[in-house]
Amino acid sequence: MLVLMRRAGEKLCLGSDIEVSVLEVRGDSVKIGIQAPRSVQVWRKEIYDEIVRQNVEAARTDIPKNLLDAIRKRTGDDGDDDGH
């Protein structure tokens, strides 16, 4: 891994069309600005990893029929009357 030291206000270039700016450093947080072509997607790594994990898990599931009924019930009436 390439490791570079930068200060607030300084920038990095990744290739010719991606620019990463260190905007602010406060405690253990760094505010970063990224300028990149729209074809480059930028994500917070932990969120992206979690989405991958969920999608892979979701793709394995089956949905029991009584669960479908419970959801249908939720949408069928307006939910005012739960029966008591």
- 28 vs 57 by CB, closer to other proteins: 57
Distance CA 3, CA 22 (A): 14
Asked if 43 interacts with other proteins (CB under 8 A), we say yes
Choice from 1, 63, 77, 80 touching other proteins (CB under 8 A): 63
CA distances from 37 to 16, 17, 33, 42, 49 (A): 11, 7, 13, 10, 22
Residues interacting with other proteins, by CB under 8 A?
A: 38, 41, 43, 47-48, 50-59, 61-64, 66-68, 70-72, 74-75, 82
